[in-house]
Structure 1
C-alpha cells in the first residue's frame, strides 16, 4: 500500500503490466499508510484484482478495517518483506489494484478450525521456516513447504505448488507475519511430518497473501517438539513424525569437545557434514549427523561463538538405526540453534551450567562404539539413495596390494594435509604456510575380503602405520638411502612392508566414506 492509498499487488494472474513498468521492477519497500484500522501490507497473489487504470487511486476511506484489534503501524522492514527480488526492484506502488482487505473477506480463523476443504476465510500467522520440496530420485521441484504458527501456538504445515511459487516466494521471509485469504485445507503427509496437525494449508489459484502490519497480537516465535533417546529409539526407521533435539555436545567429528577444539572448515565444506555426539541431561550419548546447510550453519555458529558454544538444538531430525545403533540425521527443513539463540537453548544452558557434574558423568569416548558389519552390509548401505558418511567396524583379510600407483604422498608435517609445490619449498594451503617440512604419509590401495564380499580400501596416514608397524617416512628414507642414483621424482615401488600384510586378517574401523567415493581413512586394529 502506498502512502496515497493505492495497494500493491503481487502474483495477480488477471492483472496486466502497466506501460513503462517492468513486471519485476520494484522501487523499494512499501511504507505503511500510518492510520489505525487500515492494513497497509503487501498483497501477494490476489486473484480477484481487476485491471485498474494507471491514474486510479483507492482512497483510504474506501478500505474496510481488518478483523480483530488494531495496533501501532509496523514498518515493513521489521516484518521481513524484501524490497527486491533476485537483485531487481519490486513492482511499482503505482500499479492500481484491490484493497488489501476486501469487503467480502471471510472471518479470521485459527489453525484448529482449518478442515479438509476450500476456505474463503483468513488465517494469520508467523512464517517460521520454509524450504524447497524435491523428488528424492529425480530432484524435480515439487513446491515450497512451510512451517507456520498462529497466535494460539498451533503449528501447521503450509504448501505452495511449484507452478505458483514465483507469485509468493520473492516476498516471503522467515519470521515474517502474514495473512492469507482463500486457501485449501488438504491432508498432511504421513511420512516425515514436521507438524502434528493432520491438515496442510495449501495455496490455491485464488489465494492472496499479504504482510500483516497493524496487529497487536504477539505471535509466538516457534514451538519445538523435543524427543529424548528413548522416544527417538522407539520411532527409529518408522519414517513418521520428525522431532527436535536439544542437548550438550560431547564430541565433534571424533574430537573431544573443549575450548581448544578447532573445526576443519575445509573438511566440512568438502564432506558437507558435521558428526556430533550429543547428550540430553545425563541420558545416553547419541550420534547426530548434520548435513549440507545444517553442517555449515553449525560451523558458522560455533566459530562465531569463539568456540565456546556447548548447547545444540536441531529441528526435524530423522532417527535411523544402522548396525543396531541409533543415529539422528538432519534433513532439508532442519535448523540449527546454539547456546543463546532461542529460549530453549538458553534454558538448557542454564541447566548445564548448574549441573556440570551430571553433564560430565558420561565419557562419550568410552560409550561411543562403532557398528560391526560385513563388507556386504557396507555395500548395501552405500547403495541407498540417502546414504551418508558413518562409522563402521568390520573384520577382513588382505589379499593384495595394488601396484603401479603411488602408495604415499608428501604431506604437511603439522596437519598432514597434502602439500603443494611452492617456488622453492613445499607449501600447505590449510596451514597457510609457504615454507613447510614435507613428511611422507601412507596412501596405499589394498584389496580385502570377508565371507560376504570383496572390496578395495585406501589406507591413509596413521592407518598404514598401524597396519605395517612402520612410518611411511621411514620406509621412503630407507629406499632412497639404498638407491642413491634415483632422482627425487622417482616413483618408489610398493614397499615390502605392505606386501608382507597380504594374508593377514585385521579389524578395520572406517572413519570416513560415502557412496560417491572409495572407502578412505581406515583405522586398523590387530
Structure 2
C-alpha cells in the first residue's frame, strides 16, 4: 500500500511512514573539533511547497548510504524517517521538529514535480535581533549586506589559524564583522578567486552571533555558506538596488 503525502508542518514526533516531497536547500558535515574532526553527522535543510523549512540529519554510520545522492537544489521524496524534537540550541530552522534518517529511510530524487517548491529561504535578522541572540547559542541566523572590506590571515601571510574577516555595512550604516575560521577561510578564498572580482553583496548563512568587548561579531559555523551578488534571488534584488 502506497504511503500518503504529508507536509512538513504536519510532522509529529515518532516514525513517519508518510511521504514528504521536499527540496534539499543545503547540506554540510557536522564534525567534532574536540576529537580531531571526527564526523558526527551529515546535516541538511529541507523545504516544502508551503515554505516550511526543517533541518535533517544523517548519522555518520549511515552517511555512505545517502552521501552520493545528495544534490543541493534537487527535489526528493522522503519516507520512513524519524521525527524528533529540535535541539533548542544552534537552530537553523524555526520548526520545533527535525528529521533523522534511520535504517528504513528512503530518499528518492525526482526529475519533475507538480508541486511548486521554493528554491531558497533564509532567516535574516535585524541588528537589534542579532544582538539579542548574541552569546545565547540559540539561533544560527543568516545575514546579507554590502561588503565593505575583506581581511585575511591567508593573504596577509599571518601565521596561525586561518581566518577571513568580512566587514558588512547594515542599512543603518552600522558595520558588523563576519569571521570565517579554519576550513571556511580557504574555501572563501577559492570562491573569491573563481569569482575574479570583489563582490558588492555578500550573503552568509548559519552565523553564530557573539558580543566581544561590546562589539557584535558573527562567527561562521559548519552550516555556513557564502553567496556573492546575484547567486541567490534575494541577493540579486539587493545587488540591483545597490547598482
Same fold by TM-score, threshold 0.5 exceeded? yes
Question: Paired residues, what number?
Answer: 242
Matched, 1:319 2:209: yes
Q: Deviations over 1:382-426 (max 9, x none)?
A: xxxxxxxxxxxxxxxxxxxxxxxxxxxxxxxxxxxxxxxxxxxxx
Q: 1:307 maps to which residue?
A: 197
How far apart, CA to CA, are the structure 2 residues paired with 1:307 and 1:195? 32
CA contact (8 A) 2:46 2:53 kept: yes
Q: 1:283 maps to which residue?
A: 173
How far apart, CA to CA, are the structure 1 residues paired with 2:181 and 2:151? 13
Matched, 1:225 2:123: yes
Q: Secondary structure at the match of 1:106?
A: coil
How far apart, CA to CA, are the structure 1 residues paired with 2:134 and 2:154? 30
Shift of 1:222: 1.4
Shift of 1:320: 0.7
Q: 2:94 maps to which residue?
A: 196
Q: 1:150 maps to which residue?
A: 48
Matched, 1:107 2:4: yes
Q: 2:17 maps to which residue?
A: 120
Shift of 1:195: 0.7
Q: Cα–Cα, structure 1 residues 109 and 340, in superposed 2: closer, same or farther, change >3 Å?
A: same
CA contact (8 A) 2:140 2:207 kept: yes
Q: Secondary structure at the match of 1:248?
A: strand
Q: Cα–Cα, structure 1 residues 276 and 268, in superposed 2: closer, same or farther, change >3 Å?
A: farther
Query: Which of these two proteins has the greater Rg computed from alpha carbons?
Result: 1
Q: Secondary structure at the match of 1:108?
A: coil
TM-score by length of 2: 0.91
How far apart, CA to CA, are the structure 2 residues paired with 1:320 and 1:219? 34
Q: 2:150 maps to which residue?
A: 252
CA contact (8 A) 1:149 1:220 kept: yes
Shift of 1:265: 4.2
How do residues 104-503 of structure 1 correspond to structure 2 at under 5 angstroms? 104-138=1-35, 139-253=37-151, 265=155, 267=157, 271-353=161-243
Q: Cα–Cα, structure 1 residues 269 and 295, in superposed 2: closer, same or farther, change >3 Å?
A: farther
Q: Deviations over 1:134-180 (max 9, x none)?
A: 33422432221111111111110001122211111122222221111
Q: Deviations over 1:233-253 (max 9, x none)?
A: 111000001100011112221
Q: Deviations over 1:269-289 (max 9, x none)?
A: 974311121112233111111
Which contiguous aligned blocks of 4+ residues in structure 1 show a shift greater than 6 angstroms?
A: none
CA contact (8 A) 1:268 1:295 kept: no
| RMSD (Å), alpha carbons | 2.1
How far apart, CA to CA, are the structure 1 residues paired with 2:108 and 2:62? 15
How far apart, CA to CA, are the structure 1 residues paired with 2:158 and 2:194? 16
How far apart, CA to CA, are the structure 1 residues paired with 2:232 and 2:160? 29
Q: Which one scores higher on RCO, CA 8 angstroms, separation ≥ 6?
A: 2
CA contact (8 A) 2:154 2:162 kept: no
Q: 1:6 maps to which residue?
A: none
TM-score by length of 1: 0.44
CA contact (8 A) 1:105 1:120 kept: no
Shift of 1:202: 1.0
Q: Secondary structure at the match of 1:316?
A: coil
- Gap regions ≥5 residues in structure 2: none
- Gap regions ≥5 residues in structure 1: 1-103, 255-262, 354-526
CA contact (8 A) 1:112 1:154 kept: yes
How far apart, CA to CA, are the structure 1 residues paired with 2:33 and 2:43? 15
Q: Deviations over 1:318-340 (max 9, x none)?
A: 00111221111111110000111
